[in-house]
Amino acid sequence: MRIYQEADYDAMSRRTAAIIAAEVIRKPDCVLGLATGSTPVGAYRQLAAWERGGLLSFGDVTTVNLDEYRGLGPDHEQSYRYFMRTNLFDQVDIRLERTHVPDGLAADPEAECRRYDALVESLGGTDLQLLGMGHNGHIGFNEPGPAFVRETHVVDLAKSTIEANARFFAHRDEVPRQAITMGIGTIMSAKRVLVAVSGADKAEAVRKAFCGPITPEMPASILQLHRDVVLVGDVAALSGLREAGVLQ
């Protein structure tokens, strides 16, 4: 695992964007696995600025997103399709037909999960999978539990996840209680995994994920078994790794 320790959120975002941009330049028709939430917003903003400046193009890139809330359509302001269009897709030259997000309104969610796994497999997996990390160690919406779930699946969101996401909704009761998420096996099939973390509130999760035992109670800990992981974090988020002696 390679670790980049950056001074603050802005520096973390630039480093994250640079790694993604390098993949796009190296392989213009690459498959990017993308994440939502507050952490990658700065990186997406930087990528859009570089694209506008003519430094890279997303014209041949294909994207697959990690997850989507069940019950939210693509035009709902809190859906992850809407998030991606607002923060990246509508800001760059990517072709929307090459962007993929699970269908939160699918009449048969189990069939949608199977379709999504088949899609990722048909693309040969992702060349680079961007991940954030929840306070409880979730990646995508793979919550702590008794076992790792390999396939894309419907998940009941943990109370801590609902509370963390409530700030994006007018009222806590509006936060969906379920989501469709890529499974651990789908995530681990990526050729490279890029984990971006920011803030002191993520320090304990980062320490447990990369210094503790591999357990489904800490979903991100499975990344210890991946052959190519890059961790980018600010000083605050990586403080637990410094305490554990992993970083100076």
Q: Is residue 237 part of a domain?
A: no
Query: 132 near 35, Cβ under 8 Å?
Result: yes
Closest CA to 148 of 229, 66, 220: 220
The pLDDT tens digits of the residues spanning 176-230 come to 999 999 999 999 999 999 999 999 999 999 999 999 999 999 999 999 999 999 9
Q: Has residue 79 been placed in a domain? A: yes
Selected catalytic residue, list 65, 87, 136, 142? 136
- Does the active-site annotation cover 136? yes
241 found inside a domain: no
Instruction: In whole angstroms, give the CA distance from residue 206 to residue 233.
Output: 10
How confident is the model over 56-104, as pLDDT tens digits? Answer: 999 999 999 999 999 999 999 999 999 999 999 999 999 999 999 999 9
In-domain check, residue 86: yes
Q: Is residue 177 part of a domain?
A: yes
Rounded to two decimals, the pTM is 0.95
Domain count, the chain: 1
Is the pLDDT at 170 greater than 90? The verdict is no
Q: Are residues 60 and 28 in contact, defined by beta-carbon separation less than 8 angstroms?
A: yes
144: CATH: 3.40.50.1360
Q: For residues 57 and 29, what is the distance between their CA atoms, to the nearest angstrom?
A: 10
Q: What is the pLDDT of residue 114?
A: 98
Catalytic-labelled residue, pool 65, 138, 165, 234:
138
pLDDT greater than 90 at residue 142: yes
Q: Which of 143, 153, 165, 234 is catalytic?
A: 143
Mark whether 67 is an active-site residue: yes
Domain membership of residue 239 (yes or no) is no
Three-state secondary structure readout of the chain: CEEEEECCHHHHHHHHHHHHHHHHHHCCCCEEEECCCCCCHHHHHHHHHHHHCCCCCCCCCEEEECEEECCCCCCCCCCHHHHHHHHCHHHCCCCHHHEECCCCCCCCHHHHHHHHHHHHHHCCCCCEEEECCCCCCCECCECCCCCCCCCCEEEECCHHHHHHHHHHCCCHHHCCCEEEECCHHHHHCCCCEEEEECCHHHHHHHHHHHHCCCECCEHHHHHHHCCCEEEEEECCCCHHHHHCCCCC
Is 65 an active-site residue? no
Supply the pLDDT for residue 168. 83
* Domain residue limits at 90: 2-190+198-231
Domain presence at residue 243: no
